[in-house]
Structure formats: C-alpha cells, structure tokens
Amino acid sequence: MSFRTTPSVDYVEDVSPGSGALPPRAWYASSDARSLSLNGSWRFRLSATAGAEDDSFAEEGYDAGNWAEVTVPGHWVLQGDGAFGSPIYTNHLYPFPVDPPYVPTENPTGDHLRVFDLPSDWPSDGGAVLRFDGVESCARVWLNGTELGEFKGSRLAHEFAVGELLKPGSNVLAVRVHQWSAGSYLEDQDQWWLPGIFRDVTLLHRPAGSVADFFVHASYDHTTGEGTLRVDSGVDGRVLVPALDIDVATGEPVTVAVEPWTAETPKLYDGVLATDGERVPLRIGFRTVVLEDGLVKVNGTAVLFKGVNRHEWHPERGRALDLETMREDVLLMKRHNLNAVRTSHYPPHPAFLDLCDEYGLWVIDECDLETHGFTEQDWRDNPVDDDRWTPALLDRAARMVERDKNHPSIVFWSLGNEAGTGRGLTAMAEWIHGRDPERLVHYEGDWNCRDTDVYSRMYAFHDEVEKIGQQLDGGTHKRRELPFIQCEYAHAMGNGPGGLADYQELFEKYDRLQGGFIWEWIDHGVKHAELGYAYGGDFGEELHDGNFVCDGLVFPDRTPSPGLIEYKKVIEPVRIEGDGANGIVHVTNKQDFADLSALAFEWSCQVDGETVESGSLAVPALAPGESAEVKLPEPPADGRGGERQWTVRALLANDTSWAAKGHVVAWGQFAVGARPLPSFPATDRPVVEEGRITLGPAGFDARTGALLSIGGVEVGATPRLDVWRAPTDNDDGAEWQTDTRYGMLWRTLGLHRMRHRLVSVEAGDDALTVRTRVAPAAREVGLDTVYRWTSDGERLRLSVSVTPEGDWTVPLPRLGVRFGLPEADRVEWFGGGPGEAYPDSRTASMVGRWQSTVDRLQTPYVRPQENGARADVRWVELGGLRIEGDPEFWFTARRWTTEQLDAARHRTDLAAGDTVWVNLDHGLHGVGSQSCGPGPLPQYFLKAEPVEFSFVFSTTR
C-alpha cells in the first residue's frame, strides 16, 4: 500500500517540456498594444523540497505578509545575503546523481507571489498573454488561483493565455520555481547553477486581430543589388517600409534596390506590420546566408568570423541582465574589433539580439541544450539519443527559432553545446532546416557533421587547424566539403590567451578556415565582500571547478583584460605594416564588406618614444582585400642620435553608433633604424674597505657581493637571478593535458624554491665579479650565474651570465634578476605598453613612453597569478633609479613577492608589503591557452640555454 502525503510534483521529473503554454512565436514589442511589466519586488518563500508546501499560496486572498521578498528578474541565491542558499559552480559534472530524469528530493523550491493591479484603462477587448522570458529550471504558474501550466527550458520564453482570468483591479500571480528538474539534465552548461525568475515577466494585451506570429524574410541578391522582402504572418495585414516605398500585403514578396545588412554595415530599414489589431515595428536587414563552394557566404562573400562566446553575466545579478549591461557588451565588442558572437550556450535575452542587429555583429544563436555530464558514463543514457526526450529537444529548438527568427544578425542556429551525438539532435536539425532554410545549422559535438552545415571544433591546436585549412584532415565525405570554424578557441582564463596572432595568421591564410570565437567573453566572478570576486568552491560547494568559471576577455566588472586588448589588435580590420627605413606603409583592408572610407589615417614619428612630428596620411578607400603602399614624409632629423620610429594609426573619421570620431581601430609601428645600445666604458675600480666595496656610485657588501645602494638609493634586496613566476591558469593547464603542464612540472622540479650558493666575490681591476650557483633543492640541475658589476663613475652596469648545468627537460618560467626597493610608486618607461605583454601575447604592446604606478601595473586576475610584465623595455625609472637594458628587457614591479602572489587565491589575499619587488627579465616563457587548449607554441618557449644580458643603473634623484 502506498500513500501520497505530499502534493504531486511529478511534472518536475517529467521529460516532457511542460503543459499549458502557448506555441512559441516571434518575440516583439508592439507599437500600440498595451503591456504591463510585472518585474519588481515579489513575495518569496523558499522550501527545501519540491513538495514541501501545498498550492494554497496561489489562491486569492492568501496572506504572504510574512514572506521575504526578492527582486524579479533575479536569482534567489544571489539575494537575501545567503539566507536563500548559494550559487553552485560546476563545469560539466551534474551537481546531483545522474539518474535521469530524476533529481534529488532536496530540491530548493521558491514560491513567488505577485499581486498586481490591472490598470483601469486596460482594454477589455481581445485577450492577454503572460510571458516569462526566463525561469531556471522549472516553473508552475497560477493566475488568480487557476493553474496555467508548468514549463521547463530556462532560457526560453513561455507564454500563457490569460485573457479569461484577468480581473479589473487586483490580480494574483503565483509562480513555483524548482531549482532542479528533468530540464536540468538538458542544461549542464559550464556556469553557475542559478535558480529563479531571472528574466522579465510581462503581461501583454492581445487585441482582436493582433499579430500572432510573423516571419520576416529579407534576402539580398548581390548580383543585382536588390532585396526581396516577404513577411509571413499568422494574421493578414500590410507591410510598410517607407524608406523603400514598400506597402504590400503580408505573404506578398516585393523586390527593390536596397542597401544590404552586414555586421560591418548594419543597415536596417524601419517598417511596420499593420494588422487590424495592432502595429508591430519591424527592423529589416536584407542579407542572404548560403553555403557555397564549401564556404559560408553572406551576400555572396565569404565571412571571416572574429568572434567571442558570450554568456550572460553580471557580478551581482548573475544572468539577470539589464539593457544597459547588454549594450555595454555590444559596445565593448564593437570597440575591440569583434564582428561575431556565439550566444553560448543558450538564446540570450532577446534585447541583446536587437543590439546585434543594430550595431552589427554576426550571431550564432545557440539552443539551451547541454548534456555534458553524460560524458562521465561514455554518454550512456544521453537524453539526446533517447526518443523519450525528443519532444523536449524539439520544443527547445522551436522556442529558439520562433522567438529569434526575425533577427538579421543571426546567421547560424546552433543545436546546443557538448551534448554528444544522437537522434534527438538530428530531429532538431531537420526541424530547423525545414522551418528556416535561409540560415545554416551549427553544432560542434558531431565531428562527422551529420546534421550541420559547418565543421566546427573547439580548442583544436594550431597544427591541426592548419591541416584542416589545407584539407588534409580527412573526415567524412560530407565534412570534407564544409568550411571550418572554431566555435571555441584560445581559452581566456587568467593571464592569456597566448597564441592568438598565430591562429589569426592561419585563419587568414586558408579560405576554408572562417575564423573562430574566443572562449569566452566575461569572467563569471560573483561579487563578494571578503573575496573580491568569488568563484567555484567559495560557497562551500562539495563539487566544483574552482576558477574555471573565470575565463573571460573582460573581468567580472567588464573592465577589458589584456586578452581583449590583444585580440583587438590581432583582428584589426586594417593591417598597417611598414618599411620604416624607406618610409613606406603597406595598408590592407582586412574587412569582408566595407571599404576604408570610414577611417582616417595618421602618422607620427617618435624619437626615443616621444612624438616629435605627426600628420595625416592619405590612404585610398580600399575595397575589402585590397592593399596600397603609401609614402611617409621624410623622418625628422636624427639630431640627438636617438631611436626613431613611425607609428601609423587608423581612426574613425566620424562618430559612429558605437564609438566616437578618433577612436583607434588599428595601428602599426616600424623602426627607422636600429636602437642605439647604451655605451658604457668601465672606468672605475672597486675599492674594498671595512667590509664594504665601493664601485662608482654603488656600495656592496664585501662578504656577499650584495648591492646595498646606488647613489642615495638604498637597495632592499640585491639583484639575484630569478626563474620563478606564480603559475598562470594556462601554465597549470587542464587536468586532461598531462605532458606539458609546466606549472606543475616547474613545481615538481622545485623552481619555486631555488637556492643560491655563493662561490666567490672578486674585486678585480675594473669589475666586481660575484660567482654563484642557483639550483632547486633536491635536484641536480643548476644555473651557474655570474654577476659582473662595472662603473663609469656615474652609472653602474650589471652583466649577468647564466650557464645551465645538467639536463634541463623543462623550459624556464622566466630568466632575469629580481631585486627589492624600499620605496617606489611612480613608474615611467620607454618600451612596450601601456598594458602587460608576454611572448605570445605581445601584439598589442606599443612602443612608447608610458607612465603608471606600481599599483596600476598589476593586472587584477580574479585568481592572482603572474601578470603585469611590460615588453621591450629600453629603460624604466622607478624608486629613484633609472635602469637601461642591453638588450631590451621585460619589466615587472609589485608590492608583494612572487611567492605571495603564488599563494594568493583571491585578489584580497594580496597585501602590500614594505618592499617593491622588481623583476628585470631577459626572457619569459609564453603563456598559451593550455587551461583548455594548446600551450605556448615552441617558438615561445624559454629554453634553459647559456645567455648574457646587462642593465645599466643610475639615479634620478
């Protein structure tokens, strides 16, 4: 015998998409039909299980006066200061047993209640619809005590017909939201699990004769310059586009001369769809997307995607984004030369797609589907290969396509992410191809491309990408005919990604390679009072993936990280190269559609990094793909024998919707001649007296050879050889990459605990020579290191020569000297800047004169790690010292030691000490993107080899 003691919650674990909701349709805002936002403060009650409470709260008259409150849109775990549970982060592991479609009995369930007044002038004719734009993960809905239905599909819109139920005056909307449901098995994306009503809730009046659904078909024929418009609508009406003199019936095609829509030239025509019941604004972009000659072409031209994967993220509000945050994303993308976005891994808030249409970004709209956790069991029982789940998959596909079908920016529908392979995916692809043959279908998980129109991969290494470009990769017959994109590459976790320029070179070299999408846009750090930004594990999760959730090109507050600055440079729409000695600039238009007429060019000439002359440069309005050579003026005279270089910039000639006139989109630099190296006659002789050695302006400890001071500047810690860096996420690598995870190998070898053995201190005729051997405890390998100090009376030169001993099987993290200054703040240098650079992420480093402070030199990665190096430094001034390099060097300064940086887990663990630690490096190891991709390419390895390098110290006080 069995009893039912709790209310039925069977729908939670039902594989079906739900019941009661209206069929999906286009998402739009009517010009004249009324709507009422139900966003705001809602009453809220949290239960530990799905069936803990009965349904009585949905009844009219229920007194929720003692309930808490939450803001809708929002996630309850990010509200209530921890009283409503906390976020959980897992990459691909389900945070519950894999027991589909069942979920644990512990199933946080949030009852939401909103009493609203229907405006007194709310029209009484027609019907009304209640729309939920996003609820995670399963919701059951009642209006005025009547159940409307339940649904799953967190990032998809669901509507219910409520006309009959609405009452004048007060109405009660009750929504029960379960954190876990059968739907959770389809939503195993790598992100925080965040339950709640996190997108808008809206009541929409539906006048009699209003538009139910419509589909704008707006194609462009590049051979005639004409566009063909046909708007299909469930309800007959007229389509008006004043600028094109179009006034036709729905369903009727019309062909006229138009300007096409592209991401570079996002021309939209405003129109209206008018039915008896309402007027719907249209924003029409004419473009044709095809697969032709093995390439994705838009308007007859192959496109090179310079994209990024975007999750919706706000450090305080999670995935509940406001319009301004969405706009900020789009503006940042446009200002950093991106032209494409994959909405990983679900359809975004629809307003984001409006922005993509308006500002111009190619979009891969991805379905809310990922079943990654099944990989743990070799994909056994994967819902995408189990017919019982197919209705839910088709429902998700339809809800994406129907909602978003009128956006010209969308060129691909993506079936989802990391869901293995199976019949359900095929069913989705077939349905999508049938419903919208005017776009292409993407999915990465099936390398045989059974269902897709593009061969897509993630994190393929450079050498494999090159093979694919050369069509030497084999694969199914179908795959061999398809173009290639990397839907994810260059994992932007922590310091990096390195190797971007090398990828871009391949993408530009081989037609078949149509570009890629960086993983990912933003660090999903959660704002946290003690930790700065929290990541996986910071909320006590028993299963989590740490800071793998912080792998974006922008920090959680949307400050661009150096990775974004690097990407901007790598994907510049104009390539500016030059032959500085002969004063010639080569300009190439790297765009696919636009000529260069929107840009103005400027040249400037620097002597020792300081601009001495500048002017404008006349560059023809080159068509896409065209190049030109332009002559520069005569360089200014070389009076002071300094280093001369040209800088040429391409700037916006006029204000645009996304940046102001003068915004720099591209630049190039080229030297007029070689850099004159510092000349240094060693004239002084070391003088030994009373335990101290004096050499020119410097004092040394005679016993240890340690530098004590230069002029009036005390040196807190003498320059010593240093090879350690706080491993980056990319040094540490991902757990599945075993042989080249140098972060670990370095630690195993002991490079973080090098010991220095003093061999001798020799005061010679013209030099003080300190011989040492630097080596890790427990190991045989070592670095014979000789410091040779000389002086010309005013200045002090340190030459370091390093000879590796033994069998060094790993590259070195860094090689240079580290020393400490008791005081330093302002920093000025001549070299690469303004931001950090590493050997394989230095494209955006511009040679010039830069100023900063020690604090501002730091790049605040959410998990602290090596950062802040400046490349190609000729000289730097800080703390009363001027240091010149022979050759150029990498410069880093911080208020904590590398060891402290290494030990820190969050930004707030780093506290300024009383020494500024300065690293002057001859070499650094590349960074790569091995946290989920390739490590540094071999040319960026810092090999343990014999080297010699020098610095000249003087005082500035």
Q: Which of 404, 453, 488, 502 binds ligand GAL (CB under 6 A)?
A: 488
At residue 918, φ and ψ (nearest 5 deg) are -115, 130
| 866 sits near ligand GAL (criterion: CB under 6 A) | no
List the 410-414 sheet strands across, edge first.
440-442, 410-414, 362-366, 340-342, 305-309, 513-518, 484-489, 455-458
Q: Are 313 and 328 within 8 A, CB to CB?
A: no
Q: Of 455 and 548, which has the nearer Cβ to ligand GAL? A: 548
From residue 859, how far is each of 554, 730, 912, 926 by CA, in Å?
A: 12, 15, 15, 17
| Distance separating alpha carbons of residues 384 and 394, to the nearest angstrom | 10
Q: How far is CA 912 from CA 48, 60, 916, in A?
A: 44, 59, 9
List the x/- string, 906-935, binding to ligand GAL by CB under 6 A. Answer: --------------------------x---
Task: Give min distance, CB of 735 to ligand GAL, in A.
Answer: 12
> Least Å distance between CB 98 and ligand GAL?
18
Nearer to ligand GAL, 309 or 898 (CB): 309
To the query of whether residue 418 is one of the catalytic residues in this protein, the response is yes
398 binds ligand GAL (CB under 6 A): no
Q: Write the binding mask 436 to 465 for ligand GAL: x where contact by CB under 6 A, - elsewhere.
A: ----------------------x-------
- Residue closer to ligand GAL by CB (options 492, 796) is 492
> Closer CB to ligand GAL, residue 244 or residue 458?
458
Catalytic position from the list 13, 418, 572, 888 = 418
Phi first, then psi, for residue 602 (nearest 5°) are: -130, 145
Q: Residue from 418, 541, 722, 877 that binds ligand GAL (CB under 6 A)?
A: 418
- Chain residue whose CB lies nearest ligand GAL: 190
| 364 lines the binding site for ligand GAL (CB under 6 A) | no
Binding ligand GAL (rule: CB under 6 A), the pick from 107, 250, 417, 954 is 417
Q: What six digits make up the tokens of 543?
A: 């299963």
Query: Phi, psi (5° rounding) for residue 675?
Result: -70, 130
Q: Exactly one of 187, 366, 402, 551 binds ligand GAL (CB under 6 A); which one?
A: 551
Give the contact letters, 505-544, x = binds to ligand GAL (CB under 6 A), - = no: --------------x-------------------------
Taking the CA of residue 550 as centre, how many other CA atoms within 13 Å lie in the half-sphere pointing to its CB? Answer: 30
Nearer to ligand GAL, 91 or 669 (CB): 91
SS3 sequence of 544-559: CCHHHHCCCCECCCCC
Closest approach of Cβ 707 to ligand GAL, in Å?
45
- Reading the block at residue 843, the tokens are 């494209």
CB of 548 to ligand GAL, least distance (A): 6
3-state secondary structure 254-308: EEEECCCECCCCECCEEEEEECCCCEEEEEECCCCEEEECCEEEECCEECCEEEE
Catalytic residue among 159, 312, 466, 488: 488
Closer CB to ligand GAL, residue 334 or residue 345? 345
Structure-token pair, residue 731: 């040094």
The tokens 């009844």 sit on which residue? 59
* Interface with ligand GAL, residue 91, by CB under 6 A: yes
* Shorter beta-carbon distance to ligand GAL: residue 721 or 932: 932
Of 456, 669, 411, 549, nearest to 89 by C-alpha is: 549
Contact track, ligand GAL, 156-195, x by CB under 6 A: ---------------------------------xx-----
Q: How far is the CB of 189 from ligand GAL (least distance, A)?
A: 6
Give the Cα separation of 704 and 726 in Å (integer): 28
Q: Least distance to ligand GAL from the beta carbon of 183, Å?
A: 18
Size of the site for ligand GAL (CB under 6 A): 13
Annotation marks residue 613 as catalytic: no
Nearer to ligand GAL, 7 or 537 (CB): 537
The DSSP secondary-structure symbol of 938 reads G
Q: Which helix (H) or strand (E) holds 588?
A: strand 584-589
Tokens representing residue 69 in the block: 């409150």
Q: Spell out the SS3 assignment of 464-508.
A: HHHHHHCCCCCCCHHHHCCCEEEEEECCCCCCCCCCHHHHHHHHH
User: Residues with catalytic annotation?
Assistant: 418, 488
| Interacting residues with ligand GAL (CB under 6 A) | 91, 189-190, 345, 417-418, 458, 488, 491, 519, 548, 551, 932
